[in-house]
Structure 1
Amino acid sequence: MANDGVNEPADAGRRRFLGATTAVVGAVGAGFAAVPFIKSWNPSARAKLAGAPVVADIGALQEGQRLIVEWRGQPIWIVKRSKAILDALPTLDPRLRDPESENKDQQPDYVLASEPEYRSIRPEISVLVGLCTHLGCSPEMVAEIRPEPYDPQWKGGYFCPCHKSRFDMAGRVFQGVPAPTNLLVPPHHYRDENTLVIGVDPAAGAAAKGGA
């Protein structure tokens, strides 16, 4: 299966996943305004339930924006990270529970092949399952690099207001919070520069493309 080795979070998180299956919210950098809706291509409801891949057009995704699509009933966050965010990630390692993503169940191996702290195929594009690994709540994206009440050294990331778990902008969990593991990275690959496919690993995607 395309998602072998990557656990799925608790179904309880679906209670927190409200609204449309696709939306763009959040920003990276102080003063970044709300951004307009960005369309994504999705399969039929029946195909979603069967676990079919989801294809997302990220061509219009700007730095600091987050695109949300649904795959297997879970919110998938696609975020275009800034250079400042990428530069901050390695500095957070001493504060994280699993900074090198040694728990292999939380992401496919290929997202650690280049820059492990990014947990992504392309450094600037983060792809995460948007459900807290504690009880399946959906954390808030708080991407600005600035002090926050819950962390005066905040470098951007995800904060779960339900039980105060915190994750950095690569989905790595902080020490001393209820969440036990990093956010999941789903199987995915890039069909081309602007097309992201959720649910299929790069090798399988290349094989399918070659057989077309």
Structure 2
Amino acid sequence: MSRSVTWLRPAELSPDEHRRRLLLATTTGLGVAGLAATAYPFLDSMEPSARALAEGGPVSVDLSTFAEGEMRTVAWRSKPVWILRRSPAVIAALQQPNSALLDPLSRHSVQPPGCDNATRSLKPEWLVAVGICTHLGCIPLLHWHDAALNAELHAPGGYLCPCHGSRFDLAARVVKNVPAPTNLEIPPYRFTGPAEITIG
């Protein structure tokens, strides 16, 4: 047995039915408004803060004051990014083929297009690399004139991770037989002037 629903026109509603429908509509409207008012702060809290936006944004660096062999660290996305000005002698040493490197051609490394070369940079004079070891996240230290550090590379100095001894050359390429599995990351960057880069 089926029940049929009879729809009454507003003019045919009894005063109690009219009152019920009005209360239902009012309650529904207030419920939706209350839900929206409650949800707004939660949804708004998911937006990144001004500080987070600033830290994640591009970072510009003036290169005109760098001396040859000087390295500086800037923060980008809460990571240390090294900027090193290399000498012609270092560049020449980096461009020599070397079997002591794990990934000399950077085939299994993170770098932007144009940096998959022997110097891992857009311009050979400048190294821009994230200074976090790819093994466990320690920060390697620059040993500029330590010829014994990477003696098998026949290159001056390099980076040494103090935590577990991973070694990198001055193009941030990892040496074989150390804990780090890959070369250091090269962040996305571009030259925005003859002596200025923008990271990010």
Fold-level match, TM-score > 0.5? yes
Residue 48 of structure 1: aligned partner: 54
CA distance in 1, matches of 2:80, 2:125: 19
RMSD: 1.8
Separation in 1, partners of 2:65, 2:145: 21
Name the CA distance, whole Å, in 1 between partners of 2:155 and 2:132.
20
Contact 1:85/1:156 (8 A) holds in 2: no
The offset of 1:91, in angstroms, is: 3.4
> Which residue in 2 is equivalent to 1:19?
none
Give 1 or 2 for the bigger CA radius of gyration.
Answer: 2
Deviation for aligned residue 1:162: 0.8
CA-CA distance at 1:155 after TM superposition: 2.8
Change (3 A) 1:154 1:87: closer
Q: Structure 2: how far apart are the matches of 1:144 and 1:73?
A: 29
2:101 paired with 1:96:
yes
CA contact (8 A) 1:81 1:124 kept: yes
Aligned partner of residue 95 in structure 2, secondary structure: helix
Shift of residue 141, structure 1, vs aligned partner: 0.5
* SS at structure 1 position matched to 2:96: helix
Distance in structure 2 (CA, Å) of the matches to 1:132 and 1:94: 21
Give, in whole Å, the separation in 2 of the partners of 1:92 and 1:75. Answer: 29
CA deviation after TM superposition for structure 1 residue 175, in Å: 0.3
Match of 2:125 in 1: 124
Amino acid at match of 1:81: R
Residue 69 of structure 2 contacts residue 86 of structure 2 at CA under 8 Å; is this kept in 1? yes
Contact kept, 8 Å, 1:48 with 1:73, in 2: the verdict is no
Structure 1 residue 143, shift from structure 2 partner: 1.7
Aligned mates of 1:65, 1:73 — CA distance in 2: 22
Q: CA deviation at 1:45?
A: 3.6
> In the alignment, residue 68 of structure 2 is paired with which amino acid?
E
Q: Structure 1 residue 129: deviation in Å?
A: 0.2
**Partner residue, 1:107:** 111
Q: Which has the higher helix share?
A: 2
Deviations 1:83-131 (A, max 9, x none): 111111133621000000111x51112113xxx1001011100000000
2:89 pairs with one of 84, 89, 94? 84
1:189 matched to 2:187? The reply is no
- Residue of structure 2 in register with 1:18 after alignment: none
Give the drift of 1:46: 3.6
SS in 2 for 1:126: strand
Task: Give 2:62's aligned residue.
Answer: 57
Post-superposition shift, 1:69?
A: 0.5
Relative contact order, higher structure (CA 8 A, sep 6+): 1
* Per-residue deviation, 1:154: 5.5
Which residue identity does 1:106 align to in structure 2?
V
CA contact (8 A) 1:48 1:71 kept: no
The gaps in structure 2 that reach 5 residues or longer are 1-49
Task: Name the TM-score, length of structure 2 as normaliser.
Answer: 0.70
Distance (whole Å) between structure 1 residues aligned to residue 175 and residue 97 of structure 2: 9
Identity across the alignment (%): 41
Match of 1:4 in 2: none
User: Matched residue pairs, number?
Assistant: 150
Deviation of the 1:144 alpha carbon: 1.4
